Amino acid sequence: MEKGSQVSGENGKEEMFKPLLCKTMNSKKILITGTSGFVGGFLVEEALSRGLTVHSAVRRSSKTDILDTLDTTLVYFDFEDIDGMAQILRKGSYDYIIHNAGLTKAKAKEAYFKVNEQYLRNLIEAIRNADLQLDKFLFVSSLAAYGPADYQSDGIVKETSTPHPVTNYGRSKLAAEQYLKKQQDIPYNIIRPTAVYGPREYDLLTVYQTLAKHIEAYVGLTKQRLTFVYVRDLVRAMLDIVMSDHEDAGYFITDGNSYTAQQMNAIVKRELGITWTLPIKLPILLVKIIAFCSEKIAGLSGNYPPLNIEKVNELRARDWSCDVSPLENDIGFKPKYDLECGLKETITWCKENKLV
């Protein structure tokens, strides 16, 4: 099959289905949204490695350089066009959908709710209109939907915890989850990753680059409990969930450990070969001022910076512990990467790509 072959336009008008798409070992077909992003590229690779026929939903404007190297078919999806999506879904006759597309950075609250909640609603409506009989629909939410453990009396975020999102991003993911949980006819699961890192991820890259310049910045004056998941472990778990019989369950995912920012920085410094740094402890108020200014400056060129006011609400949280035992029990999840292994691979990639 042609690599990155294109199938259909936003309105389902460009009928260019390859007449005989060769189905490999596994005859099941999966549609993954948000494949042009960081997690999406790895998801497509993982799905292909399991012998699935993989269609990658992208926008006309999406960067597809990674997807173009993979044996996946590009599908042009417009989440505003329910009929167009339904047409594509009907023709695709998918067994699984992973709805991974999401807006992680935006100035306006409305933008988060439009992309993260309303587009999920539109997609579910399109699935119904297409009369698609799915084996599984996996929605990629976030730990941010429940917020940090700071607000939980037992010190850990669990399925039964009362959600306490601290950002509009988290609130929009929570709204999407609440909607999905009411859809009785959709065999869904929800995954809520903590901070995901790995090659091709550019937010934590700022941390590596700052450390490479010998500056070791800490937010707030008290210690944090941070959690992480390496992207390859995440996508493995996502495909395991999709192919499992477990339905209507939500899963938090981390590598099972919690780390201080100091521990993380120590690993990065070792991998970078940095022997000395200038440690700086930034009070929250100062970080807020920096975030405010960087939003204003980036706004002049129509951008939204990695350090923004919303991000400060996450950075100031002290504890991101969450319960991964349901994922271990239902899916047999065992992470292959702790932060040390994952960062080793990530920094090697950064060095190879001359980013640090």
Which parts of this chain interact with ligand NAP (CB under 6 A)? Answer: 34-40, 59, 61-63, 79, 100-104, 115, 140, 142, 193, 195-196
Judged by beta carbon, residue 36 or residue 87, the one nearer ligand NAP is: 36
User: What's the closest the beta carbon of residue 172 comes to ligand NAP, in angstroms?
Assistant: 9
User: What's the closest the beta carbon of residue 38 comes to ligand NAP, in angstroms?
Assistant: 4
Judged by beta carbon, residue 142 or residue 321, the one nearer ligand NAP is: 142
Judged by beta carbon, residue 38 or residue 113, the one nearer ligand NAP is: 38
Judged by beta carbon, residue 35 or residue 214, the one nearer ligand NAP is: 35
**Rounded CA gap, 35 and 44, in Å?**
7
User: What's the closest the beta carbon of residue 60 comes to ligand NAP, in angstroms?
Assistant: 9
User: What's the closest the beta carbon of residue 166 comes to ligand NAP, in angstroms?
Assistant: 14
User: What's the closest the beta carbon of residue 39 comes to ligand NAP, in angstroms?
Assistant: 4
Q: Where are the beta strands (DSSP E) in the chain?
A: 6-8, 29-33, 53-58, 73-76, 96-99, 136-140, 188-193, 195-197, 215-219, 228-230, 249-253, 278-282
Judged by beta carbon, residue 61 or residue 184, the one nearer ligand NAP is: 61
Nearest to 191, CA basis, from 257, 241, 117, 154: 241
User: What's the closest the beta carbon of residue 111 comes to ligand NAP, in angstroms?
Assistant: 8
Judged by beta carbon, residue 59 or residue 344, the one nearer ligand NAP is: 59
CA angle, corner 95, sides to 129 and 117, nearest 5?
55
User: What's the closest the beta carbon of residue 135 comes to ligand NAP, in angstroms?
Assistant: 21
Going by C-beta distance under 8 Å and a sequence separation of 6 or more, which residues neighbour residue 41? Answer: 35, 66, 67, 70, 200
Cβ neighbours of 138 (radius 10 Å): 24
User: What's the closest the beta carbon of residue 118 comes to ligand NAP, in angstroms?
Assistant: 10
Nearest to 23, CA basis, from 47, 69, 54: 54
Helix (H) or strand (E) holding 158: none
No. of helices (H) and no. of strands (E), the chain: 12, 12
Judged by beta carbon, residue 39 or residue 54, the one nearer ligand NAP is: 39
Question: Residues, the chain, total?
Answer: 356
Judged by beta carbon, residue 53 or residue 116, the one nearer ligand NAP is: 116
Residue 330 token pair: 């239902």
Judged by beta carbon, residue 208 or residue 293, the one nearer ligand NAP is: 208
Burial category of 213 from C-beta neighbours within 10 Å (exposed 0-12, middle 13-18, buried 19 and up): exposed
User: What's the closest the beta carbon of residue 89 comes to ligand NAP, in angstroms?
Assistant: 15
Beta carbons of 49 and 91 less than 8 angstroms apart: no
Give the residue at shortest CB distance from ligand NAP: 37
**Rounded CA gap, 229 and 198, in Å?**
9
Q: Strands 215-219 and 195-197, how do they pair?
A: unpaired
